[in-house]
Structure 1
Amino acid sequence: MLKTLEHFAAQCNANSRLRQMNRDWTRRIAIVATDRAQSFWLTSQEGVITAGEGPAVEPDLQIQAPYDIIQAIFSGAMSPTEPYNAGDLLVKGSQDDLMRLDIITLLIWGE
């Protein structure tokens, strides 16, 4: 999973449009695999996304789902819409931050 999140971060960082869009979006995102005792994090600061393993400190957003769903979403193999609508993906945070994540994935992988 960490490699998938690092690859996601690298794709974000390689996209100049995303870096510009995220230059003033400073957020900590907690990612929790509900079927395993594993947690990960993403941070966005000054347009740069980083990823790591372990709990996020004071997260602004929290994403919870089974490991395989998280892996599929952050690798681009699955849209978050279906698992979210089915109740398999829980995202806690502000509506603005949720929309920002949607835009990020759209810019990386398209529709």
Structure 2
Amino acid sequence: MILTTAATGFISAYHARADLVADHQDWSPTIVIVATDSGETISLQVEHGRIVALHEQALPGTLVITSDSATLQDILEFRLNPNEPYVFGDLTVQGAEADFLRLDYIVTVLCPS
């Protein structure tokens, strides 16, 4: 439930940035987010740059992001830029590099400095 709540806020913030959504209108991944400590898993279904569904289960994912629930919550709520936990191995990403780079760009733009 923690990830679902945090992702809901993330989705609202992302959709509020029409420029970001427009920049990614050719992007339609499914992003699976897995909390290693709690087992909570959510999937974000993106179609033409818009997040159209949030599922409280794992779907076949284009990107699979894994970390502990506190780190994932901090990233989704813009308290933590994902680069640091990624560099130190506390956050892992499986999937195509192009998809990872797009998601990293979106989160970095939304995350205050």
TM-score by length of 1: 0.91
In structure 2, the partner of 1:82 is 84
* Contiguous gaps of at least 5 residues in structure 1: none
Q: CA deviation at 1:72?
A: 0.6
Correspondence for 2:36 among 31, 34, 37:
34
In structure 2, the partner of 1:92 is 94
* Contiguous gaps of at least 5 residues in structure 2: none
TM-score by length of 2: 0.89
The amino acid across from 1:36 in the alignment is S
Distance 2:111 2:90 in 1: 21
Distance 1:92 1:108 in 2: 22
Correspondence for 2:56 among 35, 53, 57:
53
Over the matched positions of the two proteins, sequence identity in percent amounts to 30
Is residue 22–residue 44 contact of structure 1 (8 Å, CA) maintained in 2? no
Q: CA deviation at 1:89?
A: 0.6
In structure 2, the partner of 1:66 is 68
The amino acid across from 2:50 in the alignment is V
Q: Secondary structure at the match of 2:30?
A: strand
Distance 1:7 1:55 in 2: 19
In structure 2, the partner of 1:10 is 12
The amino acid across from 2:95 in the alignment is G
Q: CA deviation at 1:110?
A: 4.1
61-70 vs 82-91, which deviates more?
A: 82-91
Q: How does 1:100-111 map to 2 (within 5 A)?
A: 100-111=102-113
The amino acid across from 1:53 in the alignment is E
